[in-house]
């Protein structure tokens, strides 16, 4: 398995897609029920293949990720060629960006001496979707990029 097995809830949400996937494997409902009881390892392998297929489709479309921690925000813009990062680090131990209060403080104090901005660009490794997946596995969330675009514009204006 290249990525991770979808959760039970995710599989339930993708029930119709999974049925269609099984149909492409010439597995109907009766055969699926039989596989689950008589050859559970084959059924598990089918779920793994389906999970990887779904992840591959999602990751191919992902263009923005965000990762928040207590004192940092990492905003990623994922192009076909490179990963672009805007990182915001707050060096004030009283501020917790994971709280509404801390995030509001950041919004109101972007020019504070304890707020630092960093830009970086990095080439993908051999498999860009795996690079994206690893960021998600580490806690990044898929977004539409509004926050990245806001800070990209802000930082561009500071130059």
Q: What is the pLDDT of residues 118-130, one digit of tens each?
A: 999 999 998 999 9
Structure confidence by residue, pLDDT tens digits, 102-157: 999 999 999 999 999 999 999 999 899 999 999 999 999 999 999 999 999 988 86
Alpha-helical runs (H) found in the chain: 8-13, 15-24, 29-38, 40-61, 100-108, 128-137, 146-158
Provide, rounded to the nearest whole percent, the portion of the chain with pLDDT above 70.
Answer: 98
Q: ∠ CA 142-147-148 to the nearest 5 degrees?
A: 80
Region of 108 (left: φ > 0; alpha: ψ -120 to 50; beta: rest) is alpha
Rounded to the nearest integer, the mean pLDDT of the chain is: 94
Q: Is the dihedral of CA 70, 72, 73, 74 positive or negative?
A: negative
7-42 confidence digits (pLDDT tens): 999 999 999 999 999 999 899 999 999 999 999 999
pLDDT value for 158: 54
Residue 81 scores a pLDDT above 60: yes
Average of per-residue pLDDT across 86-95: 96
């Amino acid at each position: 398995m290249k990525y991770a097995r979808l959760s039970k809830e995710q599989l339930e949400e993708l029930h119709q897609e999974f049925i269609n996937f099984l149909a492409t494997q010439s597995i109907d409902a009766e055969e699926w029920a039989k596989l689950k009881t008589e050859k559970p390892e084959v059924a598990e392998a089918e779920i793994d293949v389906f999970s990887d297929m779904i992840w591959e489709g999602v990751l191919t479309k992902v263009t923005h990720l965000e990762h928040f921690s207590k004192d940092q925000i990492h905003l990623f813009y994922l192009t076909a060629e490179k990963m672009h990062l805007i990182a915001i680090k707050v060096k004030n131990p009283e501020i917790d960006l994971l709280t509404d209060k801390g995030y509001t403080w950041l919004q109101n104090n972007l020019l504070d001496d304890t707020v630092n901005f960093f830009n970086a660009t990095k080439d993908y490794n051999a498999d860009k979707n795996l690079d994206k997946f690893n960021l998600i596995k580490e806690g990044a969330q898929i977004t539409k990029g509004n926050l990245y675009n806001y800070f990209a514009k802000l930082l561009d204006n500071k130059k």
